[in-house]
Amino acid sequence: MELRDYLRILRAHWVGILLLTILGAAVGYGWSAVQPKVYTASASGIVQATGGGSDTGSALVGNQLAQSKVSSYVDIGGWRSVAESAIDYLDLDTSPEALVTRVTVSNPLNTVIINVSATGSSPEEARDLAEAWVRGMVEQINTLESGSPGAAGAVTLVAGESASLPPSPSSPNTRLNIALGTLIGLALGIGYAVIRHVLDRRVRDPRAIERETGVSVVGTIPLEKQLADARKVFRFDTSLSSATGAAITEAMRELRTNLQFMDVDNPPRIIVVTSPLPGDGKSTSAANLALSLAAAGQRTILIDADLRRPVVGSIFDLPEGAGLTDVLAGRARLEDVAHQPDASGNLAVLTAGRIPPNPSEVLGSKRMRELLTELAGGATVIIDSPPTIPVTDAAVLSTAADGALLVVSAGRTTYDMMQKAVENIGKANGRVLGVVLNKVPKRGAESGYYGYQYRGEYYSAAPVTRRSLRKKRPAAHTEDPVAAP
């Protein structure tokens, strides 16, 4: 994947990333809130020689003597006797071992200074412990150097100024914990987004479709939320106007053009429109594709070959009656049962007719093949067929057609479903012309796969009611400029 793919993943899952980042920051703050506050106070002393002369030589000798002793005095700061002295001085109820862990004794490089840092649950406790610890070190050093607890030796530790009260706790570091929690939450959020993307098997990216199935995406149809729960057909023979559904009409024009240029010398004349499962919008796509072809000046016949749940008649608001099955059975003639629902006069719609008990056998019959061949001689035939996974009707029809268009839903159809549909058509020696990706988002991170975020302001065309398609025809029909010559 490229960098833009990762950025698209992050944008698609930005809500989860943001929530996990906020959660990490909250955990860091909460953890800091429940931790006991610890204050740190510092006291210091200086190691110096006693009884030295006032001349420069004596001072230099004294300083060298003090530097030779300072590292040893630092080690004395961790002795048990120093802790016992601090316990007695402060009247503490604790053990020397526990007290030693609260004190740190150090010596800055190339100095004779000894620093004592002590921690406590309050500023006063930390200050008193630091001062008592320096006091205990002084007593212990004097005892070692002079042999007497009260007398100073040749080198001694002189206590400095009193330790100051710490203004704020040294632990927990709330800002640092919040920052660490935020970073950890952000890392978890990014990991969550990547894992979701890797494990998500739903169809989203046209490039991934071609990579997974080897079938090209020949069209993308955007999602119109206002029309999501309804089957709508649109007018393609009018000038554009700003209204809902313009993106769909432009997508259908693009699909029509792709089909026309798929094979310039021998363009497909009989096209089966199917989908892996119900609900992918195959019937609406077939109806609008037929209208788009008719608006371009091509004679088009739309056949409802879904003999299980036919819906083409309801899409165009056509009366129920004789249809495809009646023509195949010889009970009616095509010209008597076909409807012309659009104003151009180039579209004929053949509804399903009576539902037979054996749809697959009817659609795979010799009479059906002959009918399709006859119709394809003077028109482009669009066939709305049942889904490919539940039944075999579409696979059977594809053998008598030039190919099939597989309509899949973005974010709903999985790659496994789509692969299964392609395999079912291939097993019947049918040909998949391409995949039509339906219900693709026009906004958001996933719209970047399809380019709709760049084209949205140019879309305009109004959806029309079914009855408005049958209004009086214009005196002259202007060919759609998008259509191929």
Report the pLDDT value the prediction gives residue 372, as an integer from 0 to 100: 93
Report the pLDDT value the prediction gives residue 51, as an integer from 0 to 100: 63
Report the pLDDT value the prediction gives residue 423, as an integer from 0 to 100: 93
Report the pLDDT value the prediction gives residue 469, as an integer from 0 to 100: 47
Question: What's the rounded Cα separation, in Å, for the pair 43 and 119?
Answer: 12
Which two three-digit tokens encode residue 20? 């996990």
CATH topology (fold) of 204-470: Rossmann fold (3.40.50)
Report the pLDDT value the prediction gives residue 475, as an integer from 0 to 100: 36
Report the pLDDT value the prediction gives residue 55, as an integer from 0 to 100: 63
The backbone torsions φ and ψ at residue 118, rounded to the nearest 5 degrees and listed phi first, read -125, 145
Report the pLDDT value the prediction gives residue 130, as an integer from 0 to 100: 93
Report the pLDDT value the prediction gives residue 451, as an integer from 0 to 100: 52
CATH code for the structural domain at 39-159:
3.30.70
Pairing assessment for the beta strands 113-120 and 103-106 based on DSSP bridges: antiparallel
What residues does each domain of the chain span?
Answer: 3-35+172-198, 39-159, 204-470
Along the 485 residues of the chain, how does pLDDT read in single tens digits? 677 777 878 888 889 999 999 999 999 999 999 999 999 999 999 988 876 555 666 667 777 888 888 888 899 999 999 999 999 999 999 999 999 999 999 999 888 899 999 999 999 999 999 999 999 999 898 888 877 766 777 788 888 878 889 988 988 999 999 999 999 999 999 999 989 888 888 888 888 888 888 889 999 888 877 566 667 787 776 544 444 567 888 888 899 999 888 877 788 999 999 999 998 889 999 999 999 999 888 999 999 999 999 999 988 888 888 899 999 998 889 888 999 887 778 899 999 989 999 999 999 999 999 999 999 988 999 999 999 999 999 999 999 999 999 999 988 899 999 999 999 999 999 999 999 999 888 765 555 554 544 444 444 444 444 444 444 344 333 333 333 32
Q: Output the pTM of the full model.
A: 0.66
Cis peptide preceding 172, ω within 30 of 0: yes
**Can you say how many angstroms the Cα of residue 123 is from the centroid of all Cα atoms in its chain?**
49
Matching fold, domains 39-159 and 204-470:
no
424 Cβ contact partners less than 8 Å away, ≥ 6 residues apart: 388, 389, 392, 394, 395
